[in-house]
Structure 1
């Protein structure tokens, strides 16, 4: 079986160099770089305009570098310390990203970005130029009849409405590219993330136009939690990071922050600024020993790469807190390679940097400022027919030939003795990262097969439900163990289904499934159907064994974690009537829409737990002699009556709820009898 898998692996094509050649031969990179240069020349550090039917928004990091120059020269990486996006100033701006999984929040992981980029972005975000750009992109999703309302919103920003309308005419319905060089790239990435966040939260206005962020030599922006959040939102393909072979800036923040010579990033940014002659006092030479700097970066990037290669969850994170996200385009004069797997990006960042420097690129400054030449020379190089060198050994397959071309394009020449070690390591990492990148999707496909095999268990419970719908409902039949043989089978199928979904969640927690797994309609719908069908049986089992008396309420002490996650998935999908174990929310959503017939399954999965609590409350109220306590209990019962009445009136419940002997029907009778008592009637009136 392993041999067959190996043959299948060897027969496939390696496409990273093909994607790199396609990107490099397009005008996208050259146009984005031109906008970066224009941004560096602009006093505001921000420019925008149309080119080839696409709107380019360029950012410069020079103002941020200038403001941080003093602190950076003083030493330390404090200016690049991570700052969480959950603060008051940023939570609303990046709401989808900071909505982390509950488990991740519990262990202290948070979505964070480097302080300097965030500080500069927030300053730019409040400027008139950026407000024009932001509101223009928002208007792409609005109807022109909303112009008057939008004008009112624009007034506080002191923008010129006429200029905004002219710009709107230029970019309506066109793609938007955010771009920047060095620190400007990190700011551009934050601007793109903000745009994607407001676009996703404004989906009622229709889909937003395409957006892409292209950075050149940008330092790392965020923590691994940010990388995971971007993957969960399916935004990884919206980011393209162009990195030259020996640029230290994109690799420097892999080092521990206390060991980072932060001034290097700041000074290199200022050296790209045409206006630097006016601020020459802030720009000093890079005095660090180049060999020591290269050794520092190689040591820590190599450690992070090895950590990801071993994939040991128990190992402590190496180096600094920042990790890559999006697609990395590894450039050299020989071509470009696209890598969209974060682990592969780290590995290629190390392998390309560890290879011997080419003549003319010995200085860190030259490697950081070479992007203008690269975007011009790479397309010219691609025009020349390129074949594997005659000295190369014949490739065993198309895939091996593709790996060789990818290594050559990234600047690692397998037949150059000085590159032999890096070439061998990079070849191994490229192959491994490809398998690692495909593995979650393969696991998901295998789970889909298992889901099909487990479906008969769900069908058996549906049959069990239909058997008792007309008498007392399948909830009460299961709770009372009616027909022991049928009960045993239903209970066995309930346990099997629970084990299957717990296994799915275990794989998701271990990173063995795609990060956007919980956004895929097939799995969200399957999980929701399972939950609505089976959770009532779990509630019945909980109360049948009197666990509500020994442990406490089902909703807080007995509910399985899988159901809480399934509620979250369903809410994120945006479906009306998502059950969250809060009857008021379900009833409110139910009142907004009315079914023509009763639902196949009760839409609040915790409905029966609330019925059990209401029955206990009614029994307690019958024996209560304290008027104040009785009033409180009656108020809770009245709230449940309103909640359940809304569900029944809107037909958000299944017919088994209204069965003659169901717990709900019995509660209605008990409640009506309780309301006839004189003291109760007096309180209710």
Structure 2
């Protein structure tokens, strides 16, 4: 028996909210108005402190064979920083449909559009971007731009986006980036059962042959005409059926993980509200959404695909009262579990019966979507337990640091580990360093392979733990790197030896919400040096001194001196701000050795200054 908790918790809450407010009705009303009265433009309406911005579905976008394949471009291209706050989705390039991005940029670069948005941000508490067909894609990018801008400028306006029959917009890293920023709940895409446009770009690019392109042109013409939808009624049935069958076959292959799965470049994001005459269902799991895009289409429904694209009004009208009647009868065979009952009600609302071939696939899809969500939560809990288990390892390294700082050798934490002899204490600390690295590498791998919740890396518990780990352990990583002479084989640590985990943790720390207390100046030195790469910079500076002594070319000597001087200034600023720990000042530490070596070199250069006129007095402290 399945678990009793709702498998649609977040997405069904969103659907209920939409059905119980004027959002759906008002947004569709304005979409219809934009389609008829503002072709290739947008319309604005206000209801109290809520502003609606609707983009017309009548837009012009290039439909060359290359463009109809849905060429993807980096979302940052040509946007002048509009999407700077959007992170890399799993480290890969976040890409969107080139033609749809160009449509958005036409509005973004418009002074009228910018002025309207500025008025809304200054005067309203909430803004709802909406659009039908191609207008839905522009609405999504507009909402994404404003969300990105809010994150940068700390505005308090709430942003939401509702689209109707909108095409796919970007690749899987694009979807992942939105999830990571916790913006998925800001988007709801309403899709009619047989509407072709939301499914069109799931077709792999290599299937866009000349015949397919000709069919796509017919569809595109009908959807972008000033007589929106009228030409579509004149498309020959055989052409319409041919296009429908091709798309259906490709979506089926994609939904079942076939060989075309990887060649289709587009991926859903946000929540999808699927509509029929009998009800709606809302999903926020991307894999489940793709499967439902297939399950809800059936052979012989090609004649409905254009009608469904144009008749979202009737679904909006029914959505509210259908939710009130949603507690209708359930087959007694499913009454043993509220989980099974919920799935049955969902499938009934989509007019899927047990006799339809896609019924089993749709039911399995909902079950798997729920299981995947539960598994991520379980993995979260597992990582929390594992984090607690590694705490003793971290504590032992902290103890080792305190021991080194108090040692009579006066080497400090970094140099004690770098110059350690064979001992039980040193071996144990080194093994703890390795085991901690295993834990964090596993966590990052699980996060980037979608096995943890998408906002996992924003949880303060893990952001703070990762930062503490980095400050405590990375000096040991640097010490081991130089102890083994890796810098002579590969180059210096920061550029050639730094583990990927530390670079990821840098970003986590930069992206955190900073409290006012963090801006207060320090009254005493830090327990851990706040630049985890400080000792790598010391090693590079000492190496520059060594290279300078053997360098004869004047230009190279000048560059080396500049690097040394820059590090000295940087180190001084850290010390003045008390962002270094006590081990930096240990009598025999590498930093003190650097200071002595640099002082000696400057004294020599002062004596030889007539021979080095480029070395100014200001460089000698």
Using structure 2 for the length normalisation, give the TM-score: 0.88
Q: Where in structure 2 are the equivalents of 1:206-245 lying within 5 Å? A: 207-245=155-193
1:459 deviation in Å?
0.6
Deviations 1:249-278 (A, max 9, x none): 21122123413532354244247x56788x
Match of 2:109 among 117, 121, 126: 126
Deviation at 1:12, TM superposition (A): 2.4
User: What residue in structure 1 maps to residue 216 of structure 2?
Assistant: 262
Q: Which residue of 1 aligns with 2:88?
A: 100
Deviation at 1:127, TM superposition (A): 3.4
1:452 to partner: Cα distance: 0.7
Separation in structure 1 between the aligned mates of residue 372 and residue 299 of structure 2, nearest angstrom: 24
1:135 matched to 2:75 = no
1:304 partner SS: helix
Q: Which residue of 1 aligns with 2:560?
A: 633
1:372 is matched with 313
Secondary structure at 1:262 match in 2 = helix
Task: Tell me if 1:423 matches 2:359.
Answer: yes
- Could you tell me how far 1:551 is from its partner in structure 2? 2.7
Distance 1:356 1:401, change over 3 A: farther
SS at match of 1:322: coil
Tell me if the contact between 2:280 and 2:350 (Cα under 8 Å) persists in the aligned partners: yes
Q: Does 1:23 align with 2:21?
A: no
The answer to whether structure 1 residue 515 and structure 2 residue 454 are counterparts is yes
Per the alignment, do residues 63 and 535 of structure 1 end up closer, same or farther by CA in structure 2, a change over 3 Å counting? Answer: closer
Please point out which of 286, 302, 316 is paired with 2:252: 302
Aligned partner of 1:10 in structure 2 is: 3
Q: Distance in 1 between matches of 2:469 and 2:31?
A: 52
What does residue 391 of structure 2 align with?
A: 455
Question: CA, structure 1 residues 614+347, in 2 after alignment: closer, same or farther (shift >3 Å)?
Answer: same
Conserved in 1, the CA contact under 8 Å of 2:82 and 2:149?
yes
Match in the other structure for 1:467: 403
Match of 1:59 in 2: 55
Contact 2:161/2:187 (CA < 8 Å) preserved in 1? yes
Structure 1 window deviating more from structure 2 (341-350 vs 46-55): it is 46-55
Q: 1-side partners of 2:192 and 2:228: how far apart?
A: 24
Residue 370 to residue 226, structure 1, CA distance change in 2 (3 Å):
same
2:492 to 527, 536, 553: 553
Q: How far has the Cα of 1:619 moved from its partner? A: 3.8
Deviation at 1:626, TM superposition (A): 6.5
**Is this contact kept in 1: 2:125–2:156, CA < 8 A?**
no
- 1:42 Cα shift? 2.0
Aligned to 2:256, the other structure's residue is in SS state helix
Secondary structure in 2 matching 1:211:
strand
Deviations 1:134-155 (A, max 9, x none): 22244x3xxxxxxxxxxxxxxx
Aligned counterparts, 1:403-442, within 5 A: 403-414=343-354, 417=355, 419=356, 421-442=357-378
The alignment covers a number of residue pairs equal to 598
Where 1:213 maps in the other structure, the secondary structure is: strand
Q: Which residue of 2 aligns with 1:112?
A: 95
Listed one character per residue, the Cα deviations across residues 525-562 of structure 1 (whole Å, up to 9, x for unaligned) are 21111111111111111122222223321122222121
Q: Which residue of 2 aligns with 1:152?
A: none
My pick for the range that moved more, 519-528 or 182-191, is 519-528
Q: Residue 253 of structure 2 contacts residue 261 of structure 2 at CA under 8 Å; is this kept in 1? A: no
How far does the alpha carbon of each residue in 1:99-124 deviate from its partner, in whole angstroms, 9 at most, with x for none? Answer: 426852xxxxx333233322322222
Q: Is the 8 A contact 2:59 2:134 kept in 1?
A: no
Shift of residue 623, structure 1, vs aligned partner: 5.8
Q: Which runs of 5+ in 1 are unaligned?
A: 1-6, 105-109, 141-171, 577-589
More deviation, 621-630/193-202: 621-630
Alpha-carbon distance, 1:511 to partner: 2.3
Could you tell me which residue of structure 2 aligns to residue 84 of structure 1? 73
Contact 1:536–1:606 (8 Å) recurs in 2: yes
8 Å CA contact 1:80, 1:114 repeated in 2 = no
Higher deviation after alignment, 616-625 or 479-488: 616-625
- Give, in whole Å, the separation in 2 of the partners of 1:412 and 1:276: 28
SS in structure 2 of the partner of residue 12 of structure 1: coil
1:322 and 2:282 equivalent?
no
Equivalent residues of 1:223, 1:322 under 8 A apart: yes
Check 1:638–1:173 CA distance in 2 against 1; reply closer, same or farther (3 A cut). Answer: same
Secondary structure at the residue paired with 2:189?
A: strand
1 CA distance for matches of 2:413 and 2:492? 21
Shifted more, 216-225 versus 115-124: the winner is 115-124
Match of 2:612 in 1: none
Q: CA deviation at 1:473?
A: 0.7
- Contact kept in structure 2, 1:82 and 1:112, CA below 8 Å: no
Q: Are 2:231 and 1:292 aligned?
A: no
Taking structure 1 as the reference length, what is the TM-score of the superposition?
0.81
**Structure 1 partner of 2:511:** 572
- Show structure 2 runs of 5+ residues with no match: 610-614
- Aligned CA RMSD, in angstroms, stands at 2.9
Map 1:329-348; keep pairs closer than 5 Å: 329-348=273-292
1:355–1:422 contact (8 Å) kept in structure 2 = no
